């Protein structure tokens, strides 16, 4: 029974720690993805809604001039060859005309590209997709074309992996600490109960000599003092019962003695 109580307390605390770490980990990873996604679209809107940049893109006379403008703003766009690239697409077909990425011939027509082909800026975000993209339709001197930015989420994936590792190590350390704390807590809670159980067994055997000591003001302390009071009252009751039994026995003894005396006296008269 005691082992079962120990086990239950330890398991409850471990489950609480694991659940808390899992919730915190999921919350952090989701917040990082959301932050990265929001930062991407915020940065894209800041650049492509800049009147000077829009004017430059509209007045560019060739795709090479458009590419020069994009290269000038690589830092603002956060473009690198590893995870984020720019493309210049045909305004009607979405075919790649130029770009910094490797998907020159097999670039998938995403929802934002289709939106841009229809003449509207594509800023739709998809949390479940393995990429982030923006498609901006431009009607300029170089003809109708689309400025397309695509991020493959490589950076956020690496960051999530690092965070997952940190959470895993924190969970391991938290489990070790929680095991130690749960054992201490279980001992602090179970030991008074064990003492009460042993005291109850002694009282059941008729031993009222030992009393439990407890200065605690919690439920265990109240229970211990109540038990002491109950044991004392029970001892007093048993003492009173013994006295009554003794008196009754003595009364019957005297009555029996008087009976035999009377009987003997009557027999003597005969």
Of 39-43, 72-76, 123-127, 249-253, the range with the lowest mean pLDDT is 249-253
Q: Which CATH number fits domain 2-158: 3.90.660, 3.30.450, 3.40.50, 3.30.930?
A: 3.30.450
Secondary structure (DSSP) of 114-167 = HHHHTTS-B----TTSS-EEEEEEEEETTEEEEEEEEE--HHHHHHHHHHHHHH
Tens of pLDDT, residue by residue over 3-56, are: 566 677 777 777 887 788 778 778 877 888 888 888 888 888 888 888 888 888
pLDDT at 250: 66
Kindly state the average pLDDT of the residues 181-191.
74
pLDDT at 2: 47
Kindly state the average pLDDT of the residues 237-259.
70
Q: Could you tell me which residue, 209 or 16, shows the higher pLDDT? A: 16
Confidence of residue 1 (pLDDT cuts 50, 70, 90): very low
Tens of pLDDT, residue by residue over 93-151, are: 888 888 887 766 678 888 999 999 998 999 988 777 888 899 999 887 878 899 999 88
Q: What is the mean pLDDT of the chain?
A: 78
Kindly list the distances between the CA atom of residue 230 and the CA atoms of 173, 202, 233, 241, 246, in Å, as whole numbers in the listed order. Answer: 46, 13, 5, 16, 24
Return the domain boundaries, the chain. 2-158, 208-270
In terms of C-beta density within 10 A (0-12 exposed, 13-18 middle, 19 or more buried), how is residue 248 classed? exposed
C-alpha span between 17 and 22 (Å, rounded): 8
Of 52-66, 142-156, 168-182, the range with the lowest mean pLDDT is 168-182
pLDDT at 265: 59
pLDDT at 208: 67
Kindly state the average pLDDT of the residues 243-256.
69
Say what percent of the chain tops pLDDT 90.
5
**The token pair that represents 38 in the structure block:** 């929001």
pLDDT at 106: 74
**The token pair that represents 262 in the structure block:** 């009377």
pLDDT at 134: 92
Task: Enter the pTM of the model.
Answer: 0.60
Sheet with 132-140: list strands edge to edge: 96-99, 84-90, 143-151, 132-140
Kindly state the average pLDDT of the residues 145-165.
82
Q: Is residue 11 within 8 Å of 196, Cβ to Cβ? A: no
Q: Could you tell me which residue, 261 or 195, shows the higher pLDDT? A: 195
Q: Is residue 135 within 8 Å of 107, Cβ to Cβ? A: no
**The token pair that represents 166 in the structure block:** 């940190």
């Amino acid at each position: 029974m005691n082992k079962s109580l120990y086990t239950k307390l330890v398991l409850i605390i471990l489950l609480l720690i694991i659940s808390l770490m899992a919730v915190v980990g999921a919350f952090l990873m989701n917040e990082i993805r959301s932050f990265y996604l929001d930062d991407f679209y915020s940065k894209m809107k800041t650049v492509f809604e800049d009147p000077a940049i829009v004017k430059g893109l509209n007045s560019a006379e060739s795709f090479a001039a458009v590419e020069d403008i994009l290269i000038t703003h690589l830092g603002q766009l956060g473009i690198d060859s590893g995870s984020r690239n720019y493309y210049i697409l045909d305004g009607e077909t979405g075919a790649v005309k130029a770009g910094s990425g490797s998907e020159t011939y097999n670039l998938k027509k995403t929802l934002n590209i289709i939106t841009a082909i229809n003449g509207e800026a594509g800023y739709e975000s998809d949390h479940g997709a393995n990429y982030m993209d923006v498609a901006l339709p431009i009607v300029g001197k170089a003809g109708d074309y689309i400025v397309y930015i695509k991020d493959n989420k490589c950076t956020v994936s690496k960051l999530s992996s690092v965070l997952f590792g940190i959470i895993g190590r924190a969970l391991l350390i938290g489990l070790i600490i929680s095991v130690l704390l749960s054992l201490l807590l279980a001992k602090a809670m179970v030991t008074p109960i064990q003492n009460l159980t042993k005291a109850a067994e002694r009282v059941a055997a008729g031993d009222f000599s030992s009393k439990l000591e407890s200065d605690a003001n919690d439920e265990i302390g109240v229970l211990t003092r109540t038990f002491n009071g109950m044991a004392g009252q029970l001892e007093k009751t048993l003492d009173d019962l013994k006295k009554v039994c003794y008196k009754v026995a003595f009364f019957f003894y005297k009555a029996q003695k008087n009976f035999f005396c009377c009987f003997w006296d009557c027999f003597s008269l005969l």
